[in-house]
């Protein structure tokens, strides 16, 4: 697990070994007792939920950081081949 970012109480994580649960590129976002899984690059919630104002922040953040997120995901797929 790698913490990608923290802002406005949101914690954005990428679980590199989580390919069995969600095979699509994705990130996990935690906020207080809420957790959601966002598909990247689309930015759709595929599991869980966040308050609407926080969900909007995450969607905008994904759009801004899309290139870095996809690079991290692709790198992680290469790294897990050796584990």
Q: What is the pLDDT of residues 19-65, one digit of tens each?
A: 566 678 899 999 999 999 999 989 999 999 999 999 999 999 999 99
Q: Which residues are bridge partners to 31 per DSSP?
A: 10, 34
The C-alpha atoms of residue 14 and residue 51 are separated, in whole angstroms, by: 20
Residue 81, pLDDT score: 56
The domain limits of the chain are: 2-80
pLDDT above 60 (res 83): no
Q: Give 62-73 pLDDT, tens digit per residue.
A: 999 999 999 988
Q: Which residues are bridge partners to 49 per DSSP?
A: 35
């Amino acid at each position: 697990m790698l913490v990608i970012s923290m802002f406005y109480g949101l914690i954005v994580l990428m679980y590199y070994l989580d390919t069995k649960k969600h095979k699509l590129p994705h990130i996990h976002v935690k906020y207080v007792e809420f957790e959601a899984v966002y598909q990247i690059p689309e930015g759709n919630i595929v599991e869980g939920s966040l308050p609407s104002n926080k969900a909007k922040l995450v969607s905008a953040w994904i759009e801004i950081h899309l290139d870095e997120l996809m690079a991290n995901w692709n790198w992680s797929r290469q790294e897990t081949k050796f584990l």
